[in-house]
Amino acid sequence: MILARELLLGGFRRFPAVVAGDFMLDRYVTGEVSRISPEAPVPVVRVRSERLVAGGAGNVAANLAGLGVRVYAAGSVGDDTEGAALMALPVFAEADTECITPLGPTTVKTRVLGGGRQQMLRLDREQLTEPRGEDIERVVSKIREAASAGSRLVLLSDYGKGFCSPELCRRVISFARSACMQVWVDPKKSDWEPYRGAFAITPNLKELSAAAGRAVANEDGEVAEAASELASRYGIENILATRSEKGATLVSRGGALHIPVWPVEVYDVSGAGDTMIAAAAAFSSAGLPLCDAAKLANAASQIVIGKVGTYPIMADELLSAVAEEGAQSGGKIYSRGDAAELCRRWRANGERIVFTNGCFDILHAGHIDSLTAARALGDRLIVGLNSDASVKRLKGESRPVNGELSRAKVLSALEAVDAVVVFGEDTPAELLSVLRPDVLAKGGDYRPEDVAGREYAGEVVILPLTDGYSTTSVIERISHSK
């Protein structure tokens, strides 16, 4: 994943993010247990160490900072000793904290660990406090400032402690959408009406069930069905549901993508959801296709659950994990980095690589003819597929009819196609600069010298179009038949 590696190697600094929500302090008290109390049948913990880390929205901010993202923080922290300790943590050293407001006492979660890893007890100190009107205005103003500094992302970390009030959520989502920013929500409310219109929401299975109003079994079909219903009901573009030992499911307009877990020994799931939303949102808003962003976020969350306590992901850890995983297993849908590795292997075997690209919104016989002709020009065929965002820019607001996940799945099922790569730019030139195919095949009445990315291919071949077929005409016929 070339873009992902570039982002993890410092590229994220170009894409600051706003984190608004419930900031809290997590305290870990670790000790040894060797006897039972004579006062009551409870273990006695001999304290060995204490550790303070940022929790809630603070952990989301810490994960973003660990990836290299500059954070604008908006929330409430008490004017107390715990609040001072929270704000002194490293995550806030380079963050913009002007929008942190003293509203009530700082929320503190104290976890007691025995034997180094086993959580024995959790103590919560909290007071639910909603933001005032002027606090909400300050948050919107801070988002406006972040947008002017290049931010494309707002994360709402709702832990149910009051800051993410319905009014704040509505105002933030409305403004962010008008500023062309993605809004990602980690939900706590069972009623998702305040989150209406968000770009993405990341519930766990329990939260998904609560919002759906029924128990959702941890099965692919049931999770996808519930997520699709909720997305339609609340106008949410994408739902990335985390499913414990069964990984995660991404539901978008194009369908569902089920992402399995990586093999890892689980020590502590605290904060894994924060890692998931931070990584997925950061990669997606920086230009990575959502399916790739979700897979990287799943990998990041698998890394942190192998640690003890609340633990943010670090860029170098995720870089190492991506390198170890290599090309994704199974199927034909690849990230551009993995596709580049495929090309290197095919080229080493003396195979001739052909590339073609398009939107392939509603697959028809003309597409099949073009793809078959392209495949005949070599030994391997890679199809560059325009992302949903790029199709919308090229074809208009009513397109695509089918989302990128659905279009990629259909193409990957074709015998003529060896690999499908989603790209977010208007032309495939950047993707071609990575793949360097032997042949660039293009359908239509182009002149070879006018084909975008031609300098990165050995030769350009113009394929004839099949008369009578176009996606536009198919859509028109469907509309007229109603």
As a whole number of angstroms, the distance between CA 390 and CA 409 comes to 18
Helix axes 272-285, 57-67, angle to 10 degrees: 50
Q: Which residues are part of the catalytic machinery?
A: 274
Is 333-481 the same fold as 2-325?
A: no
Specify the CATH number of the domain 333-481.
3.40.50.620
CATH 3.90.950.20 fits 2-325, yes or no: no
Q: Residues 207-241: pLDDT tens digits?
A: 999 999 999 999 999 999 999 999 999 999 999 99
Please enumerate in sequence order all residues whose Cβ is within 8 A of that of 232, keeping only pairs 6 or more positions apart, or say none: none
The least confident of 104-113, 114-123, 127-136, 251-260 is 114-123
What single string gives the DSSP state of each residue in 86-100? HHTSGGGSSSEEEEE
pTM here is 0.69
pLDDT at 281: 97
**What proportion of the chain, given as a percentage, has pLDDT over 70?**
91
Say whether pLDDT at 330 is over 70.
no
The most confident of the ranges 54-58, 304-308, 361-365 is 54-58
Q: What is the pLDDT of residues 3-17, one digit of tens each?
A: 777 788 888 999 999
Q: Where are the domains of the chain?
A: 2-325, 333-481
Q: Which of 239-253, 275-289, 331-345 has the lowest mean pLDDT?
A: 331-345
